[in-house]
């Protein structure tokens, strides 16, 4: 019973799918970033680059005066539409006012016409809320999967956005977008000196110790860095282990800063204990730092070893939502089983979190 067969992940051959056959899930990449950072420029660039993908783009321009301009930029259509429009190169485009769920549902009726979805959030959006809908909306979840969150940071104004103070000590949008990202694009490097660029890079890194950082002008990036990141699923099982190994706990660099904390605890833990640890942290919020402030976790990633599971288990969390999924990577016979977690958030104290983790996973409950 220990070795439950894990379904093998096999690529589905051919583009054509019969009604009865398995359906290929469509990846969604969320493109976020503060107002004017270069999100739409990035989308335009991606749409015009050679990528052999049929991409569907959703522009979420909620409440922004420039929405019309944005649709114009992409569709050359001249008006704000909520209907899908086919571009000359076969890509699809649509501009919406809400968080995009409707648009995606609508889009899925055109299945077969596209193989990738890019969703641009508004500059003030919390990408976590958008990401969450892929977990909550199981209807959506069966058709599509979240591939990654890409945040565009303005090299010129990024620092200012990251340090902006919000009332009641709320986390500003720019920091949240950096904390949640799987890829950061520091754009508009033409507008800053090397020194200014270093400062932005250091601040971004101090918030998110995990994220890959690219620097661009006009959002020109190698698309392989943006698409098919598999940041949330077990297909990244192997590389995630490597990636996690390189993550370091960061030092607060900005005021009231968000930082990254990572640790590695050897052993083989019970799933219920892991759940308890995560729920205390994310739901009960009863884990506090030395000064009594609640630890506020925005993003959680990890690879853990669960008792009774032969394969590594990936942990993913965005705000209050989290998910455990067995990967296709089996623990080897002689391999030391270990649990590595990466947490990004505020008021994080590595030593305290480690202690809480150890105490929780060591605890016996119910059956010996």
Ligand X SMILES: Nc1nc2c(ncn2[C@@H]2O[C@H](COP(=O)(O)OP(=O)(O)OP(=O)(O)O)[C@@H](O)[C@H]2O)c(=O)[nH]1
Provide the mask over 162-201, with x wherever binding to ligand X is found by CB under 6 A and - wherever it is not: -------------------------xx-xx----------
Please tell me whether residue 127 binds ligand X under the rule CB under 6 A.
no
* Rounded to 5°, angle at Cα 351 from 346 and 323: 60
Report the residue number whose CB is nearest to Zn ion: 40
User: Which residue bears the tokens 């649509």?
Assistant: 94
Does position 218 interact with ligand X (CB under 6 A)? The reply is yes
- Those residues whose C-beta lies under 8 Å from the C-beta of residue 101, and which sit 6 or more positions away, are 133, 137, 140
Residue 66 binds which entry of Zn ion, ligand X, none, CB below 5-8 Å type-dependent: ligand X
Structure token pair of residue 330? 């089996």
The binder of Zn ion chosen from 31, 39, 91, 233 (CB under 5 A): 39
Cβ of 350: how many Cβ atoms within 10 Å?
A: 14
Binding mask 43-82 for ligand X (x = CB under 6 A): ---------------------x-x---x------------
CA 261 to the chain's CA centroid: 17
DSSP state for residue 200 in the 8-state scheme: H
Stretch that binds ligand X, among 28-36, 110-118, 315-323, 334-342 (CB under 6 A): 28-36
What's the number of CA atoms in the CB half-sphere (13 Å) around residue 70? 29
Nearer to ligand X by C-beta: 53 or 188?
188
Q: Is 95 in a helix, a strand, or coil?
A: strand
Look at the alpha carbons of 82, 83, 88, 90 in this order and tell me if their dihedral is positive or negative: positive
Q: Does 158 bind ligand X (CB under 6 A)?
A: no
List strand residue ranges (DSSP E) for 34-91, in order: 55-60, 85-86
The nearer residue to ligand X, 218 or 256, going by C-beta atoms, is 218
Told to check if 40 binds ligand X by CB under 6 A, we report yes
Residue 185 Cβ vs ligand X, minimum distance, rounded to whole Å: 10
Q: Which residues bind ligand X (CB under 6 A)?
A: 33, 35-41, 64, 66, 70, 123, 152, 187-188, 190-191, 217-219
Q: Residue numbers of the site for Zn ion (CB under 5 A)?
A: 39-40
């Amino acid at each position: 019973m220990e070795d439950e067969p894990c379904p093998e992940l096999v690529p589905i051959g051919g583009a054509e799918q019969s009604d009865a056959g398995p359906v290929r899930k469509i990846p969604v990449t969320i493109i976020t970033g503060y107002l004017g950072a270069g999100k739409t420029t990035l989308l335009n660039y991606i749409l015009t680059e050679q990528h052999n993908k049929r991409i569907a783009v959703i522009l979420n321009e909620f409440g922004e005066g420039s929405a019309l301009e944005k649709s114009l930029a992409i569709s050359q259509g001249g008006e704000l539409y909520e209907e899908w429009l086919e571009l000359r190169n076969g890509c699809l485009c649509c501009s919406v006012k809400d968080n995009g769920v409707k648009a995606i549902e609508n889009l899925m009726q055109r299945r077969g016409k596209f193989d990738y979805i890019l969703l641009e959030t508004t500059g003030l959006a919390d990408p976590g809320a958008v990401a969450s809908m892929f977990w909550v909306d199981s209807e959506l979840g069966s058709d599509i999967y979240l591939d990654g969150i890409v945040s565009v940071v303005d090299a010129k104004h990024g620092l200012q956005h990251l340090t902006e103070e919000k009332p009641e000590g709320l986390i500003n949008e720019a920091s949240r977008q950096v904390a949640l990202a799987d890829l950061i694009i520091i754009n508009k490097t033409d507008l800053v000196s090397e020194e200014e660029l270093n400062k932005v890079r250091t601040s971004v890194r101090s918030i998110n110790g995990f994220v890959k950082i690219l620097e661009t002008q006009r959002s020109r990036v190698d698309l392989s860095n943006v698409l098919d990141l598999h940041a949330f699923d077990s297909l990244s099982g192997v590389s995630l282990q490597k990636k996690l190994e390189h993550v370091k706990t960061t030092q607060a660099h900005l005021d009231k800063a968000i930082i990254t904390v990572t640790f590695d605890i050897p052993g083989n833990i019970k799933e219920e204990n892991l759940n308890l640890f995560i729920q205390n942290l994310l739901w009960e919020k009863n884990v506090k730092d030395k000064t009594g402030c609640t630890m506020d976790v925005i993003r959680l990633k990890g690879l853990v070893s669960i008792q009774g599971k032969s394969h590594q288990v990936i942990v993913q969390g965005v705000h209050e939502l989290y998910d455990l999924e067995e990967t296709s990577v089996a623990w080897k016979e002689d391999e030391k089983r270990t649990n590595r977690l990466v947490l990004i958030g505020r008021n994080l104290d590595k030593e305290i979190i480690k202690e809480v983790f150890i105490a929780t996973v060591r605890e016996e409950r119910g059956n010996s």
